[in-house]
Structure 1
């Protein structure tokens, strides 16, 4: 599902115009990014947590030059789903692999 599909579904279910739904989603995404950038985690009860994880410093390899490269410690964004969320997905999804749109890596 893409962002446009999500906007369409929310608009159909709530009756809110698509433009308003899109602005709301974009604002939510921006606030999540801004909060995580500022070091603040976001906890949404029953859904999950948007958190930052600390990656320790390590030594990597530049294969082309066969040299060691120092990678400093850094933080990455992560999502940890709530137990209720995980349980709902486990019980509601029956079958093989989820329907992935293979090759669709663009963010819309």
Structure 2
């Protein structure tokens, strides 16, 4: 599902226009982004937790030349799934569909 499809789903569930659903979705995403930038976690009970984790500096290799490179320390956002969502995913009987390649 991409963002446009998510907006459509939200608009149907809220019984509102796609424009209003997109505004709501963008507001939620902006709030999550702002919290993560500040270093705060975003915990949605039953759904999951977004958090920022630090990655230490490390050594790596250039795959083309084999030369050793230094990979600087960085931060990354992670998502840890909540218990209720995990249970729903593991008990759901989902029919996988493949989109035709054009």
Q: Which residue of 1 aligns with 2:85?
A: 85
Alignment partners' CA distance in 2, 1:101 and 1:52: 33
The structural deviation recorded for 1:101 is 5.5
Q: Normalising to structure 1: TM-score of the pair?
A: 0.79
Alignment partners' CA distance in 2, 1:41 and 1:83: 17
Runs of 4+ with >3 A deviation: 63-66, 98-103
Q: Normalising to structure 2: TM-score of the pair?
A: 0.83
Q: Which runs of 5+ in 1 are unaligned?
A: 104-108
Alignment partners' CA distance in 2, 1:25 and 1:102: 28
Q: 1:1-52 CA distances to partner (integer Å, 9 max, x unpaired)?
A: 1211221122122212211110111111122122111111100011100111
Alignment partner of 1:16: what SS?
coil
Q: Which residue of 2 aligns with 1:44?
A: 44
The structural deviation recorded for 1:89 is 0.7
Q: Which residue of 2 aligns with 1:106?
A: none
> How many residues end up aligned between the 2 structures?
101
Alignment partners' CA distance in 2, 1:34 and 1:74: 18
* Alignment map for 1:3-82 (pairs within 5 Å): 3-82=3-82
Which one scores higher on RCO, CA 8 angstroms, separation ≥ 6? 1
